Chains A and B, each alone.
Chain A
Amino acid sequence: QSALTQPASVSGSPGQSITISCTGTSSDVGGYNYVSWYQQHPGKAPKLMIYEVSNRPSGVSNRFSGSKSGNTASLTISGLQAEDEADYYCSSYTSSSTSRFGTGTKVTVL
């Protein structure tokens, strides 16, 4: 039950777009469209940003978008803003009816 693989850090300037990858296997990311993404600011609880690969909950900015190809899911943040600086985690349902989170990515706004 190892974690899904994410880059440790991604950075970009305000207004730019960045993409965070999340790589798993055919038993999790590749096998189901049940990938979700969470934003976590320091000392705060995680917040749902994307579910079912590409759906945004009500209230989440349309600057956040998700996609998937094979065993890799991606989160793209367009028009990067200072408040987007946070940790981001992907999560996937697995064939064992369990859940697996990604290793986490620290997003820095330069």
Chain B
Amino acid sequence: EVQLVESGGGLVQPGGSLRLSCAASGFTFSSYWMSWVRQAPGKGLEWVANIKQDGSEKYYVDSVKGRFTISRDNAKNSLYLQMNSLRAEDTAVYYCARLVWEPYYFDYWGQGTLVTVSS
């Protein structure tokens, strides 16, 4: 059974940093692209970032470029999101999702971890 379990969320002050983790199990992690998708309270889904199987390609939504870094450790079956220079508008539930690159869809999702940016 595919499982994705996020952790690392919490309350952080504006300008601060946080590192999210996603532990994957039940599939060959190194064979899949992975993604982060977020959802602000009461709002819709917003794609954040993608990373290729070997980490050689990464894509970001414009609003987080230069502030967020997606990475992975295939030996640990783990996905990460390093978030720096956090802003109030980054407040959201962050979901880890498995991405099937062709024909491009998110087939499994974690339960999400809440990040709150507030003073």
Contact = CB atoms under 8 A, between A and B. Distances in A.
Nearest to A34: B104
B95 A98 contact: no
B53 to A, nearest CB: 15
A104 B44 contact: yes
Contact of B112 (A45, A99, A102): A45
A108 interface: no
Given A36-B105, A46-B95, A57-B107, 17 more contacts: A1-B62, A1-B63, A3-B46, A36-B106, A45-B109, A45-B110, A46-B45, A48-B107, A51-B107, A91-B45, A91-B47, A93-B104, A97-B59, A98-B50, A99-B104, A101-B45, A104-B44
B61 interface: yes
Contacts, number: 69
Interface of B: 35, 37, 44-47, 50, 57, 59-63, 95, 100, 103-112
B109 A99 contact: no
Contacts of A36: 104-106
B37 to A, nearest CB: 8
Contacts of A97: 50, 57, 59
B59 A51 contact: no
A46 B47 contact: no
Interface in A37-59: 38, 40, 45-48, 51-52, 57
Interface residues of A, number: 28
Given A98-B50, A99-B35, A101-B47, A48 B106 contact: yes
Contacts of A91: 45, 47, 105-106
Given A1-B62, A46-B109, A99 B50 contact: yes
Contacts of A57: 107
A100 interface: yes
Nearest to A105: B44
11 contacts: A3-B46, A33-B103, A34-B105, A36-B105, A36-B106, A38-B106, A45-B109, A45-B110, A91-B47, A99-B104, A104-B44
A71 interface: no
A103 interface: yes
